[in-house]
Amino acid sequence: MNEQSTFDEVKRRLAEIHYLGRAKALFDWDERTMMPPGGAESRAEQVAALVRVRHEKLASDELGRLLDELQPFGEELSYESDEAALIRVARRDHEKARRVPVELLAEMARAASVAENVWREAKRRNDFGLFLPHLDRNVYLRLRYAHCFEREHVYDPLLDDYEPGMKTSEVTAILADLREALVPLVEEVSPRAAEVDDTFLRKTFPVDGQRALVRRMLGALPMPSESWRLDETTHPFQMSLSPTDVRLTTRYDEDDLPAAVFAALHEYGHGLYENGVDPALDGTPLGRPTSLGLHESQSRMWENHVGRSLPFWRRFYGALDESFPGSLDGVGAEGFFRAVNKVQPSLIRIEADELTYDLHILLRFELECELFEGELEPRDLPEAWNERTQSYLGIEVPDDAHGVLQDVHWAGGDFGYFPTYSLGNVIAAQLWEKAREALPDLDNQIEAGDFEPLREWLREHVHRHGRKFSAAEVVERATGRPIEVGPYVRYLTSKFRTLYG
């Protein structure tokens, strides 16, 4: 075979692998939005079967042989070309897959699927003991998984699945820098933040009004209406089946208006990234976002930099007021903006304000490292969790449902995932600083409801690349700097000092 036909054959095989991955995403989306509980057991088997078939194709000797043949061809091409990137990324995926026995992978998928359903019940009943055997099993399986790879730190292979190329030591350094900057800032602004009036947010906001508001907001943001849908779930998430099939979810609770609004904006940011990947890359391993940290940078940007800004609420305050007639008398855009930025250490990560959010992540990252280093047993997690919440956030955890059981990640076996949230915050601020330089009129554009220039900037510098470049490469190309916490600390300091005088 000549190089071109070998390349075409590799692409054909990779397309199948890519589409099997997307099919699994549909199973996952369905499980979290539509599936009746009775589907849980056979869904676990369906997912395991799909994972097995995909893995066998990705790890196959034949694909390895074809990739070997293409190696010299790939090295002659420019690093930036789609073809070179495809060969590079496919080789990395293939080599990772080769190291993991297919049985282990199928078992991880099956165990995670069962555990997620038990976790839901355990959280509802506030019963950590019910969940513990499944947590034990997930940790055991992920530990076996980590041991399939060469590593500096046992956590490295887990992290690498979500943040390719990133090391545990790098995350430790970033989180340490953040902690050093955030703890004094929280102490500085907390007393004045306590005076902010957010009592009106504790009113009841009928769910119909919330649905209407969220629809109006998302409808005004740039993404073609035929490319996305919005559904309801307890734990909001985004999942895409293709760049033009973006699935957003949010949750509605009449006692919690901000939850619905900011979850929707957050998931929109994720969806916009998926939607912006170059269509020419679809159907290849490059045709999706490159890392969870970069993914999260996009959601946090729309949730916080855009959504929790004064210009945004000057734009949407009218829609807000109309959705809940009489509920917001006299609050005004500025009052609403101040209320949704109130700094207040809280128990639940997804409800945390921007300043205390990363302390929630630090806590989880430390516990995960200790679990995998063998310093902490799963059964001792609740106690360790509660102690650290007291020490980092200064609050008492009343029960496990509001503590160690609050997030789905450990049920899904997703260890290594949490730090990508903080990386996302850091990267978001770094990109935002650069975007503002390029778009000096950005605040006015947001207030005027013109989000196109920002979307275009993000598409050009981030979205379109898909997996062609790593997160670190994307950031370096967009900003000229490695990933660093400086812009994030500057952003938080300036925002909260301005807010609180």
Q: Is 285 helix (H, G, I), strand (E, B) or coil?
A: coil
Q: How far is CA 345 from the centre of its chain?
A: 21
By C-beta, is 270 or 455 nearer to Zn ion?
270
Question: Least distance from C-beta 390 to Zn ion, angstroms?
Answer: 27
Please give the C-alpha separations between residue 352 and each of 258, 339, 340, 356, 434, in angstroms, as whole numbers. 11, 13, 11, 6, 26
Q: Which of residues 288-317 bind Zn ion (CB under 5 A)?
A: 296, 299
Which residue, 296 or 354, has its beta carbon nearer to Zn ion? 296
By CB under 5 A, the residues from 342 to 401 that bind Zn ion are none
Distances (CA, A) of 359 to 125, 303, 392: 27, 18, 7
Residue 175 or 381: the one with the smaller Cβ distance to Zn ion is 175
User: CB-hemisphere CA count at 13 Å for 285?
Assistant: 21
Shortest separation between residue 239's beta carbon and Zn ion, angstroms: 11
Identity of the residue, 284 or 297, whose beta carbon is nearer to Zn ion in the bound complex: 297
Task: Dump the DSSP string for 14-53.
Answer: HHHHHHHHHHHHHHHHHHHHT--GGGHHHHHHHHHHHHHH
- Taking a C-beta distance cutoff of 8 angstroms, is the pair 378, 371 a contact? yes
CB of 289 to Zn ion, least distance (A): 11
Give the residue with the Cβ less far from Zn ion, 128 or 262.
262
Could you tell me the smallest distance in angstroms from the CB atom of residue 266 to Zn ion?
6
Dihedral (Cα; 95, 483, 439, 350), 10-degree rounding: 80
* Alpha-carbon dihedral sign for residues 162, 163, 165, 170: negative
In whole angstroms, what is the distance from residue 240 CA to residue 18 CA?
12
Smallest distance, Å, CB 299 to Zn ion?
A: 4
Distance CA 233, CA 79 (A): 41
Half-sphere exposure of 453 (CA within 13 A, CB side): 18
* DSSP state at residue 138: H
| Residue labelled with tokens 């196109």 | 452
Quote the least distance from Cβ 32 to Zn ion, whole Å: 14
Question: Residue 284 has which token pair?
Answer: 């290849």
Q: Per-residue x/- marks for Zn ion, 246-285, CB under 5 A? A: ----------------------------------------
CA-CA distances (angstroms) from residue 206 to 212, 252, 260, 327? Answer: 10, 9, 12, 10
- Provide the minimum distance between the beta carbon of 296 and Zn ion in the complex, in angstroms, as a whole number: 5
What's the CA gap between 57 and 44, in Å, rounded?
20
Please give the torsion angle defined by the CA atoms of residues 262, 263, 264 and 267, in that order, rounded to the nearest 10 degrees.
Answer: 120
| Separation in Å, CA 45 to CA 42, 51, 52, 225, 421 | 5, 10, 10, 34, 30
Size of the residue set binding Zn ion (CB under 5 A): 2
Residue 270 CB, nearest approach to Zn ion (Å): 6
Active site residue 170: no
Return the number of the residue (296 or 321) whose C-beta is nearest Zn ion. Answer: 296
Residue in the shown chain whose Cβ atom is closest to Zn ion:
299
User: Is the distance from CB of 496 to CB of 185 less than 8 angstroms?
Assistant: yes
Three-class DSSP category at 486: helix
Instruction: Catalytic residue, from 116, 163, 267, 366: name it.
Output: 267
Interface residues with Zn ion (CB under 5 A) are 296, 299
Active site residues: 267
